[in-house]
Amino acid sequence: MSKRLPGKVALVTGAGQGVGRGIAIALAKEGASVAIVGRTLEKCQAVAKEIQELGSEAIAVQCDVGERSQVQAAISATVARLGGLDILVNNAQSAVQRPLLDITDDDVETCIRSGALATFFAMQLAHPHLVAMGGGSIVNLGSQTAIRGNRTFGAYAMAKEAIRGLSRVAAREWGPDGIRVNVVVPSATSPAAEAFREANPERFQRQLNQIPLRRMGDPEADIGRAVAALVSDDMSYVTGETIMLTGGGD
């Protein structure tokens, strides 16, 4: 079968582990060259090596996505080393869990800067490069916890719902530039999910029982492949949407 993304260049933030890693590998398997961007260079290098062993091109870039200058450097490195930018996936996000009355200004700053602001920085800085390639696709990550309004996720929910609002505006403003902007909301295994399962096996099982498919998504097979399809020409008429990748869960 022919690959969906031959010759495309993608940048994925938070790609050193979990869902970000799964998305990066899925994009590479569809033919894209991928910039693996994250705070821990060693993790990014390990994922880049995985992709290279698959026969695809990948680079590792260390970056704190909450700092505009570092996001600019990561995008510039991607364009210089991989030849352009067609796909941007904003996956990185720090989380803080506390009841609303215990949330501090620093908690909110952490979530907003690593999530909503980081996404804004990357989108704004990537725009001219996407236009230069004749258009492109941006995928931002939302969260079930924000859509549901889960307890203790107030600061995180603020950031994630800001990202969804930003994405809808960008889809309208940048559609004439040939740029599609969508949000995916994943329910998938991750280091945090694995730690929760180990610490709270009964609660974890109860959560699984609420998912119609009775399992968490696989970062590559379920989330990554869906993102690869979304950024491909197969879904070229989809923009401004929130795609729920949650196994049928609310």
Q: Which residues are catalytic?
A: 156
CA nearest neighbour of 133 among 2, 3, 11: 11
DSSP codes, 154-211:
HHHHHHHHHHHHHHHHHHHHHGGGTEEEEEEEE-B--HHHHHHHHH-HHHHHHHHHTS
- What DSSP designation does 224 have? I
Structure tokens that stand for 124 in this block = 């704004």
DSSP codes, 136-158:
EEEEEE--HHHHHT-TTBHHHHH
In the sheet where 242-245 sits, what is the strand order? 58-62, 33-38, 9-13, 87-90, 136-141, 179-186, 242-245
Structure tokens that stand for 88 in this block = 């941007």
Contact (Cβ atoms closer than 8 angstroms) between residue 220 and residue 26: yes
Contact (Cβ atoms closer than 8 angstroms) between residue 47 and residue 60: yes
